[in-house]
């Protein structure tokens, strides 16, 4: 901080916001406060309070904060920098090799949580196909404690994070499984109440707009074949095998894929197929039931 013998939280925050805004980061104020809080061990409200009162910063903390700000300005995901991603009521460890859970997926997970809660079985089973960090599976397991939840992952790089999060967050009712999605859990055939998946659904020719996605999210979690639906087809077949009659399938997908996925599911024999919009009015999830 040239010309300042004693940098303050306010001065560093102002500089950080300016750097992030200039770099096109969508939420520069929030990210700057979170990164400062990460270094200082404070929440956003505490950072704001220290900025108001002109609290000083040590040279060491200032240097560390500015280094993190430069990483975020290069569009490295905030969650990779802090190593943590909040999701509903839990906080997950994330980093290179695993897809960072998104806020919009929290709404999609609600469909599966509601279906688990309303299941007739005393210990309903939920399965998350392609669990990645374990976000959806662990949300189901923690919010529906009488359920038994399995998180299935087929990427060795992602499964490192899956195992870590299941160890730290999962209880006796959560289990991580490394296996191809098509071969998942044959011992559960016909017994599962809910199958949910946020599969890779970007068509191979499409290029994600956001640098955080394009440069840092793993390709195996993004691209779903020429039309983006290869893994959706696989999930449909596996879910029909796993679910008991009347069981629920929940799929997250891109905003332009609702019609195609609904048609695919109806062709596969699913009933009561319905597409749901997110809080911004975009098609975001499709639910269906296994026919009786």
Instruction: In whole angstroms, give the CA distance from residue 62 to residue 140.
Output: 40
The domain ranges of the chain are 9-74, 84-289
CA 214 vs CA 4, 39, 206, 221, 222: distances in Å? 38, 27, 10, 11, 9
- CA nearest to 166, candidates 202, 134, 205: 134
Long-range Cβ pairs for the range 83-92 (8 Å, 24+)? 85/133, 85/135, 87/133, 87/135, 87/138, 87/139, 88/139, 88/143, 89/139, 89/142, 89/143, 90/135, 90/138, 90/139, 90/142, 90/169, 92/133, 92/134, 92/135, 92/138, 92/161, 92/165, 92/169
- Going from the C-alpha of 163 to that of each of 22, 63, 85, 135, 160, the distances in angstroms are 38, 33, 15, 12, 6
Predicted model pTM: 0.89
For residue 195, the SS3 value is strand
Measure CA of the first residue to CA of the last residue in the chain; give whole Å: 68
Cross-strand pairs, 156:
none
- Position 267 scores a pLDDT of 97
pLDDT at site 2: 47
**pLDDT for the residue numbered 23:** 95
Distance, in Å, from the CA atom of 289 to the CA atom of 265, rounded to the nearest integer, reads: 10
**Over the chain (292 residues), what is each successive 10-residue block's mean pLDDT?**
71 97 96 97 96 95 97 95 96 94 95 97 97 98 98 97 97 96 98 97 79 80 84 97 98 95 97 95 96 80
What pLDDT is recorded for position 252?
A: 97
pLDDT value of position 5: 60
The sign of the dihedral angle between the CA atoms of 158, 229, 128, 277 is positive
Decide which of 3.70.10.10, 3.40.50.720, 3.30.470.10, 3.40.50.150 is the CATH code for 84-289.
Answer: 3.40.50.150
Q: What is the predicted pLDDT for the residue at 213?
A: 82
Cβ–Cβ under 8 Å, residues 77 and 212: yes
């Amino acid at each position: 901080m040239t010309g300042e013998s004693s940098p303050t939280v306010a001065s560093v925050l102002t500089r950080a916001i300016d750097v992030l805004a200039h770099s096109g980061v969508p939420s520069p104020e929030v990210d700057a406060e979170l990164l400062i809080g990460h270094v200082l061990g404070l929440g956003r409200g505490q950072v704001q309070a220290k900025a108001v009162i002109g609290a000083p910063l040590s040279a060491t903390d200032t240097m560390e904060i500015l280094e993190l700000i430069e990483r975020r300005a290069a569009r490295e995901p905030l969650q990779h920098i802090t190593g943590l991603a909040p999701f509903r009521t839990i906080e997950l460890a994330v980093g290179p090799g695993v897809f960072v859970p998104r806020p919009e997926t929290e709404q999609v997970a609600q469909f599966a949580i509601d279906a688990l809660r309303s299941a007739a079985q005393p210990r309903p089973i939920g399965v998350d196909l392609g669990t990645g960090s374990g976000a959806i599976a662990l949300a189901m397991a923690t919010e529906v404690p009488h359920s038994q939840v399995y998180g299935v992952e087929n990427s060795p790089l992602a499964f490192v994070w899956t195992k870590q999060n299941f160890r730290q967050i999962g209880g006796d009712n959560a289990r991580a499984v490394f296996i191809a999605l098509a071969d998942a859990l044959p011992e559960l055939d016909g017994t599962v109440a809910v199958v949910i998946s946020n599969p890779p659904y970007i068509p191979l020719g499409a290029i994600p707009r956001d640098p955080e996605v394009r440069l840092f999210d793993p390709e195996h979690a993004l691209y779903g074949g020429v039309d983006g639906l290869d893994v959706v087809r696989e999930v449909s077949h596996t879910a029909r095998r796993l679910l008991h009659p009347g069981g629920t399938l929940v799929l997250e997908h891109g905003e332009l894929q609702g019609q195609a996925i609904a048609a695919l599911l109806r062709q596969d024999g699913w009933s009561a197929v319905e597409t749901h919009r997110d809080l911004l009015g975009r098609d975001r999830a499709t639910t269906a039931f296994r026919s009786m």
